Amino acid sequence: MSTAKIDVDGLIDEGREKISDFAEMGTEYISSVNSALMDFVRDEPLIAIASAFTVGYIAARILNHVTRR
């Protein structure tokens, strides 16, 4: 095998490792956000429901405004 092929294979392996590390970090971040959100909903259900309603209402208004154009 040529050294160029070995170097390319090494770079590919490094790239795969970095992508895997980033994916793992993303998974851990999403898991921690999900856990924090679940705790918040459990501790403050009325605020969570009101927030969800508000976000949905604002999203509906924005989508309604955009589709009228």
**pLDDT tens for each residue of the chain, 69 residues long:** 567 667 888 888 899 999 999 999 999 999 999 999 999 999 999 999 999 999 999 999 999 999 886
pLDDT recorded at residue 1: 56
For the chain, give the secondary structure using H, E and C: CCHHHHHHHHHHHHHHHHHHHHHHHHHHHHHHHHHHHHHHHHHCHHHHHHHHHHHHHHHHHHHHHHHHC
The pTM (predicted TM-score) of the whole model is 0.58
pLDDT recorded at residue 5: 67
